[in-house]
Amino acid sequence: MIGLGFVYWIAGLVFAAYAIASARGRRWTNALFWGLLATSFLLGDRLGDIGNGVLVLALVGTALAKLKRPTDPVVRPEMKPLGNRLFLPALVVPAFALIGTLLLRDTRWIDPKQVTLVSLAFGVIVGLALAMVWLRPRLGEPITAGLRLMDSVSWAAVMPQLLAALGGVFAAAGVGGLMGQLLGHLIPSGSLIAAVLVYGLGMALLTMAVGNAFAAFPVMMAAVGLPLLIHAHDGNPAPIAAIGMLMGFCGTLLTPMAANFNLVPTALLELRDRYAVIRAQAPTALILLGINLLFLYWLAFPR
Amino acid sequence: MIALAGLAVILLGFLLRVQPLLVIVLAAFVTGLGAHMAPLDILALLGKGFNTNRYVTVIYIVLPLIGLLERHGLQDRARGLIANMRGATFGKLLAVYMLFRQITAGLGLISIAGHPQTVRPLLAPMAEAAAERDGELSDERREKVRALAAGTDNIALFFGEDIFLAISSILLMKAFLEQYGIALAPLQLSVWAIPTAITAFIVHGVRLQLIERRWRREGQR
């Protein structure tokens, strides 16, 4: 059965190719960084937990040694008479992800839980094959072109993965329960408005701190949602949970900790202001946070 | 309570502009030590978490394809497509994309678009081309258009995906409440995402129209 192992194998090869291309350009720190990431994808399951921990420290150490930004100038597109056919290889990727997710879920060949990622990987292979046949570039050109984009994303590429690992440490250390004790003291007893505010704003702020609403939800639900909103004020659990999560998403739009959503696009779009995407999202996020507080107050409690 | 110091480390690290990856690792060790864990156990926990979450970083395998197509003029093609389309303004373009992204995300198709796959090679250049129809873009406005393209993708994704029954956030809520004896069906949770999804489309759509109107009134700058 084709599953994550296959996808990781492809990712390992791509990152190894980035590492080799970096080394050939004498960009040694970049070569080491992408090489370590390739090692994680290819051998991660054989390294053991401590081995992977050491790999994480090595990645962070390499990032501290300053990764080089892309230097080679943007190559002017050489227009070949391909016309709008050029869109086809690019659209193969989302099309494969879409069709694969819809059609391949119940086949025996693909792990049903990973069907989207597997289809996406196949889409990349097919798209690349099409592009190679039509455009006839030098064999190494996809990697040089990809590396330029990869180097502009740089270390931010591994930040979400590292934050997920931090979430595991938080869970093991019982941070959620502690937070609950702390917040419990903040809310005047009997005040529904105060409890709604602490729960909603807490979801947004904690999400901003840890970069992920999934990590904030169990904490705020256990701390305020369950004891106060659901039990003390007889609230309806479904909207309290669902709207709480959405207020967390408002926080995600406002924080650089959510690197894959907020920092990676500024790098990919070559924006000078690192926080440009957060600034563009902020008014929408704040208005939605306010409206969701009202939704929660109006929709979740008996009148 | 010392374990909460990890959160303070994150906050302080960002204020002092310490390398974010270092901040995360420091926060992990401060949290773990605060909860009386052995340093080696914390390292193992961090390594294990990093290894099991590798799928988060897989998306970058699309970059060689995108990079190659861009060298052969993909962005120019995307611009050309919009430049020839009557009545395509950047506000309308982004609103249409938002609707498409919200609906597909609501059907659970969250990976069919994203910053490397669609925003950089297609949406951002299209939005720029649409904005350029009113005249030359200043650098400042060009940045703003690109940032809005990325932001629109994020907002549409976040306030669309929770309508889907089997999305991870819905499953997380269901599993968590079950531990406390509250049994909910995914549908009971996901219907509550609909009012916010509609509100998000209205709020963001109106914002885009207002920005467009303001720029037109101010003229080229």
Query: What local confidence, expressed as pLDDT, does residue A50 receive?
Result: 96
Round to whole Å and give the CA distance between B159 and B147.
18
Average pLDDT in the B135-141 region?
A: 88
Query: Is residue B124's pLDDT more than 60?
Result: yes
Residues of chain B contacting A214 with CB distance shorter than 8 Å: 168-169, 172
pLDDT < 70 positions in chain A: 71-82
* Least confident span in A162-176, A246-260, B58-72, B165-179: B165-179
Domain boundaries of chain A, sorted by first residue: 4-159, 174-299
Q: Any CB–CB contact under 8 A between A226 and chain B? A: yes
Q: Any CB–CB contact under 8 A between A49 and chain B? A: yes
Query: What local confidence, expressed as pLDDT, does residue B203 receive?
Result: 98
Query: What local confidence, expressed as pLDDT, does residue A76 receive?
Result: 58
Query: What local confidence, expressed as pLDDT, does residue B217 receive?
Result: 87
The token duo for B19 is: 């390398």
Residue of B3 and A158 predicted with greater confidence: A158
Q: What is the pLDDT of residues B25-36, one digit of tens each?
A: 999 999 999 999
- The closest alpha carbon to A214, from A248, A243, A181, A175, belongs to A248
Contact A246 B76 (CB under 8 A): no
Residue of B136 and A268 predicted with greater confidence: A268
> Please, which pLDDT band fits residue B187 given cuts at 50, 70 and 90?
confident
Residues of chain B contacting A86 with CB distance shorter than 8 Å: 69, 72-74, 77
The token duo for A256 is: 């650089």
> Please, which pLDDT band fits residue B64 given cuts at 50, 70 and 90?
very high
Round to whole Å and give the CA distance between A161 and A260.
10
Residue of A24 and B84 predicted with greater confidence: A24
CB nearest to B60's CB, from A157, A214, A245: A157
Round to whole Å and give the CA distance between A135 and A77.
12
Instruction: Give A3-60 as a 3 state SS string.
Output: CHHHHHHHHHHHHHHHHHHHHHCCCHHHHHHHHHHHHHHHHHHHHHHHHHHHHHHHHH
Query: What local confidence, expressed as pLDDT, does residue B197 receive?
Result: 96
Residues of chain A contacting B19 with CB distance shorter than 8 Å: 60, 63-64, 155
The interface residues of chain A toward chain B in range 56-75, judged by CB-CB distance below 8 A, are 56-57, 59-60, 63-64, 75
Residue of B205 and B188 predicted with greater confidence: B205
Q: What percent of chain B has pLDDT over 90?
A: 53
Round to whole Å and give the CA distance between A178 and B151.
34
- Residue the block writes with tokens 């961090």: B46
The token duo for A10 is: 């492809």
Q: Which residue of B has its CA nearest to A59?
A: B21
Query: What local confidence, expressed as pLDDT, does residue A72 receive?
Result: 62
- The closest alpha carbon to A200, from A291, A301, A74, belongs to A291
Nearest chain A Cα distance for residue B221, angstroms: 18
Contact B71 A268 (CB under 8 A): no
Query: Is residue B221's pLDDT more than 60?
Result: no
With a CB cutoff of 8 Å and minimum separation 6, the contacts of A37 are A15, A59, A157, A158, B57
Query: What local confidence, expressed as pLDDT, does residue A74 receive?
Result: 58
Nearest chain B Cα distance for residue A236, angstroms: 11
By the 8 A CB rule, do A172 and B37 touch? yes
pTM comes to 0.85
Query: What local confidence, expressed as pLDDT, does residue A77 receive?
Result: 55
Query: What local confidence, expressed as pLDDT, does residue A79 receive?
Result: 57
